[in-house]
Amino acid sequence: MTDEPKDVSSTRTQQPKKTAQKNKKTVYAAGCVVWRPAAGSIQVLVAHRPRYDDWSFPKGKRDPGESDLECALREVEEETAVTGTVGVELEPARYNDHKGRKKIVRYWVLECDLDHRFVPNDEVDEVQWLPVSDLDSVLSYKHDRGLVPQLVAALA
């Protein structure tokens, strides 16, 4: 028996633990970037969600059998009471949601009908109509701010 160090080069090395993939499915949602004309310019609707205490564009998850556009229009109307004329589709926003799941949200441009009357509800307690120049400082998320130049280009 010797006191020499044991050669451990052939022993198993510890492998990194695999991340559990439970609840890691992709979440699909849809919404609209809503605008209205305002004195030679435009205003854009942003919604405050009390559950997350954030400012964002109205959006939500699809119901079974519903198309993405149907989902977008339903969610906008449910959250903000806005209806309107659908314009072009913007590039989807892709990000990880608050549960760490991959989320893909399709957005359309929506020109608001002039008779809009917001009523606070469980999902959205306040809306603001803002000039494009104010959106970057109000929107809570980078993925929402990335939609603003697309809106401007779509309306040019």
Q: Are 46 and 135 within 8 A, CB to CB?
A: yes
Residue 100: predicted pLDDT: 92
* Model confidence at 7: pLDDT above 50: no
Region class of 120: left (phi > 0), else alpha (psi between -120 and 50), else beta = beta
Residue 116: predicted pLDDT: 77
Residue 22: predicted pLDDT: 54
What band does 115 get if pLDDT is binned at 50, 70 and 90?
Answer: confident
**Tens-digit pLDDT profile for residues 8-65:** 444 444 444 444 445 579 999 999 999 999 989 999 999 999 999 999 999 999 999 9
Residues 91-96: what's their mean pLDDT? Answer: 96
Residue 138: predicted pLDDT: 98
Which of the pair, 9 or 122, is modelled with greater confidence?
122
Q: Are 20 and 99 within 8 A, CB to CB?
A: no
Q: What token pair was written down for 152? A: 């401007």
CA dihedral 34, 46, 59, 106 (to 10 degrees): 60
Mean pLDDT over each residue of the chain, to the nearest integer? 88
Residue 126: predicted pLDDT: 96
The whole-angstrom separation of Cα 74 and Cα 57 is 14
The whole-angstrom separation of Cα 94 and Cα 146 is 11
